[in-house]
Structure 1
């Protein structure tokens, strides 16, 4: 796929902040081996969105090792001239996941990846309250011909029942348990530093605690 300097890479995602005091739950990222980040991920579109996105020139960005998992992700390239139309479409919520759908799906998938499939049923009725929305860019990407626009929405679980409370408690306990290597609990200081012990922490984790982030991101698998 040819990408030029008039293109903008877009990535719109939702993240969930699960914390106890200054301990923030981070999960291992299969797309960035050795690194950890908050639960959540890129929104997915539904099939009817194709007839709206194709006229905008949207071209999916799918990393080969994870292409199946990334199917329908709202991560891809647009001509710069279509960027505002894409943002207006996203704001309508039409033919895409809402935050609840996205975060329930991502939590369920990531719990299985983290070796905690028994917690998946506790995600089914989870609701989420908004914390902040951060829009990055469009900005130049070092070494790439295109610019990038990222929208990251941060939510936290609404404690609306025993299941979600149990889920959060179990994840915090898992993050403190060395026997569960794919879940860690990181302090605000560790998130700012970018490392918790030997674990690397993805830069976007900083949005759990503030509106700013370190400038360097750990690259995805390609």
Structure 2
């Protein structure tokens, strides 16, 4: 009798685990957050643009981390209509000084809600499409690096998905929370003359010795975190693979 009861319990547990794994089969790496169910987790959702010529990748100066360079791109925004769903998930927006960061998908969640957030994100409801975000960020960042003349080209460009990366969960040095970052990396689609011209212009800026806000870096330099005298941000590694090799750097705003 006892053996039957124990066997039934084991079968029920295995069934429950199987259902959990199947339900979250696209996000198995995130199951680690269940080991610390009472903790908070910082999440962010971002897109990156890969512009390169063989082993030479274009990086822009960062506004939020002065003195550093990383891929063009930025954080995806949610729509007003998504607020009820995010509130049900316990999403707490991260407070940032810059007004343009309003509605960013960057904030804190209870650890037990991270998987639900990942499934909501996958559905694509109530938020910018990745390509919409990338075009907006590229237009904005071209102004920040003082090349507004390229903005009309960026508005006409299309993008092709290269990879999706879930970075984490990982402990943040000096903080009590863990962090998970969702990235999508895109290439320019060179089916329009505007896109081809944009790529050519960015590659030319990256090799211009008089250009201080756009640089080029190799795979090795991105892994090392330094391209000549310039500091390279860790997320640059996702331009060439799905693993980072260095810890993130804290923004100043």
- TM-score bin, normalised by smaller chain: over 0.9
Of 59, 73, 77, which aligns to 1:26?
Answer: 59
Instruction: Work out whether 1:37 is the aligned partner of 2:70.
Output: yes
Query: How far apart, in 2, do the equivalents of 1:7 and 1:209 lie?
Result: 30
How many positions carry a matched residue from both structures?
217
Of 175, 186, 192, which aligns to 2:223?
Answer: 192
| Aligned match of 1:97 | 128
TM-score by length of 2: 0.82
| Aligned match of 2:191 | 160
Q: What are the Cα deviations for residues 177-212 of structure 1, in whole angstroms up to 9, with x where unaligned?
A: 133211001111211111111110001101111222
Is the helix fraction higher in 1 or 2?
2
**What secondary structure does 1:174 align onto?**
helix
Query: How far apart, in 2, do the equivalents of 1:153 and 1:25 lie?
Result: 17
Q: Is the radius of gyration larger for structure 1 or structure 2?
A: 2
Q: What are the Cα deviations for residues 129-171 of structure 1, in whole angstroms up to 9, with x where unaligned?
A: 1111111222222221111111111111111100011111101
Is the strand fraction higher in 1 or 2?
1
| Aligned match of 2:164 | 133
Q: What are the Cα deviations for residues 40-96 of structure 1, in whole angstroms up to 9, with x where unaligned?
A: 1111111111121112111111333x3x12111100001112212211111111111
Query: How far apart, in 1, do the equivalents of 2:122 and 2:182 lie?
Result: 12
Query: How far apart, in 2, do the equivalents of 1:124 and 1:166 lie?
Result: 12
C-alpha contact (below 8 Å) 2:167/2:243 kept by paired residues:
no
| Aligned match of 1:108 | 139
Query: How far apart, in 1, do the equivalents of 2:84 and 2:247 lie?
Result: 36
TM-score by length of 1: 0.93
**What secondary structure does 1:135 align onto?**
strand
Unmatched runs of 5 consecutive residues or more in structure 1 = none
Query: CA offset at residue 214 of structure 1?
Result: 1.6
Deviation beyond 6 Å, 4+ runs, structure 1 = none
Query: CA offset at residue 216 of structure 1?
Result: 2.1
| Aligned match of 1:71 | 102
C-alpha contact (below 8 Å) 1:63/1:221 kept by paired residues:
no
**What secondary structure does 2:132 align onto?**
helix
| Aligned match of 1:120 | 151
Q: In angstroms, what is the RMSD of aligned CA positions?
A: 1.4
Higher RCO (C-alpha under 8 Å, 6+ residues apart):
1
Query: How far apart, in 2, do the equivalents of 1:36 and 1:11 lie?
Result: 19
Of 146, 151, 155, which aligns to 2:177?
Answer: 146
**What secondary structure does 2:109 align onto?**
strand
Of 205, 215, 220, which aligns to 2:246?
Answer: 215
Unmatched runs of 5 consecutive residues or more in structure 2 = 1-37
